[in-house]
Amino acid sequence: MNPFHFETTPRIICHNGASTKLGEAARNLGIRHAFFVTDKGVHQAGLTSAAMDSLKAADIAVTIFSEVQADPPESVIVQAAAAAREAGANGIIGFGGGSSMDTAKLVALLVKSPQELSAIYGAGLARGPRLPLIQIPTTAGTGSEVTPISVVTTPTDEKKPVVSSLLLPDIALLDAQLTIALPPAVTGATGVDALVHAIEALSTRLKRNPLSDLLAIKAVQMIYDHLPLAVKEGSNLEVREQMLLASLFAGMAFSNASVGAVHAFAYPLGVRFHVPHGLSNSLMLPHILRFNQQAAESTYALLGRSIRPELESASDAAASAAFVDAMSELVAQMPYAQSLRELGVERDDLAMLAKDVMGIQRLLDHNPCPITHEDAMKLYARAF
């Protein structure tokens, strides 16, 4: 067993309509003026209304920042932190998908810290204190509400993480009602993102541990059982809540064990072609599972048996192959592009993508087996 320590969000609130209790949760943290971080789409869709009403009913002043962008750029995060400081906010609320929550984490830190954002990329470089922080996801995918990680797009178009336990929020608030309006394609892509978190947390070579293993296995089971129905029946609150919990479990798992090659291969697609992160993961998942199958045979066999009990007596080779097939079939059911060419990637772009991914060794190092530049070219070609 690898030596490990395990950290996560200390308080989790999960029930339908939980966003109507936000004011009470904020008051318990001593928040008097909340800086509310979200994006225009979520805000204009009216998803923030119940949460905002709850804050106002609790006599908490609110400043809204709805300028969050996908794959949050460094400049937007710095702008948000300056706006929170100028407003005199003493608490931060992240409301939305992973980009909003990642932005909120860093705003909570930067308002109080003398450090520049560019100085804290990496692990363990951030210093406190930070403002109280509540995270409310509106997608079931990133698990950002329980992770100590925020990924930033730098001015040079690199994706760099800030990793620190200071980024773990004080409260994660899960409300399935906030996810019922997600379109099928977004539901599918964010769900596969959570699935990849869980699979890679279990198959990482370096940091997996007994707690992350339990959470990852449970998350894979829940996503496999519920994602197709969430895509088809978006108004099913029970299914939506199961997906939110699965995303949370996967977030707990990967933030304590890491992710691997699927995420590494996804990042250049986001930076170069602005492909949403969940979709990028989905496009690469089947090909990297097959590439890893021999090296990760016992792990994939464990997952195969967890989703299909009839495989209990099967050999590791058979159970592993059945798992990879099941994941490939699940991805193929999703209502979105299934190849890079459908997203505007040209064959001549593959060399650039392969070069980019080889620079993300911090994730490739966690993959069950080594990946060379030649391997990267082949994997992008299979996804093409």
Q: What is the pLDDT of residues 317-362, one digit of tens each?
A: 999 999 999 999 999 999 999 999 999 999 999 999 999 999 999 9
**Would the CATH topology of 11-178 be identical to that of 184-383?**
no
Output the pLDDT for position 158: 86
Structure tokens that stand for 196 in this block: 């990849």
Output the pLDDT for position 159: 87
Residue at token pair 């059945």? 322
Output the pLDDT for position 327: 98
Query: For residue range 261-320, what is the model confidence (pLDDT) as tens digits?
Result: 999 999 999 989 999 999 999 999 999 999 999 999 999 999 999 999 999 999 999 999
Residue boundaries of the structural domains of the chain: 11-178, 184-383
Query: For residue range 14-31, what is the model confidence (pLDDT) as tens digits?
Result: 999 999 999 999 999 999
Question: Largest alpha-carbon pair distance within the chain?
Answer: 63
Q: Is the dihedral of CA 177, 182, 244, 33 positive or negative?
A: negative
| Global pTM value | 0.96
Range list of H helices, 184-338: 184-203, 210-232, 237-257, 261-273, 277-292, 297-307, 316-333
Residue at token pair 């930067």? 110
Output the pLDDT for position 264: 97
Question: What is the distance between the alpha carbons of residues 205 and 258, in angstroms, rounded to a whole number?
Answer: 9
Q: Which fold has domain 11-178?
A: Rossmann fold (3.40.50)
156 close to 115: Cβ distance less than 8 angstroms: no
pLDDT at 220 over 80: yes
Query: For residue range 228-251, what is the model confidence (pLDDT) as tens digits?
Result: 999 999 999 999 999 999 999 999
- Yes or no: domain 184-383 corresponds to CATH 1.20.1090.10: yes
Average pLDDT for 116-141: 95
Q: Which of 326, 318, 306, 299 is nearest to 246 (CA)?
A: 306
pLDDT at 193 over 80: yes
Please give the helix or strand (H or E) that residue 64 lies within, else none.
Answer: strand 61-65
CA 129 remoteness from chain centre: 25
Please give the helix or strand (H or E) that residue 62 lies within, else none.
Answer: strand 61-65
Q: Which of 106, 185, 202 is nearest to 139 (CA)?
A: 185
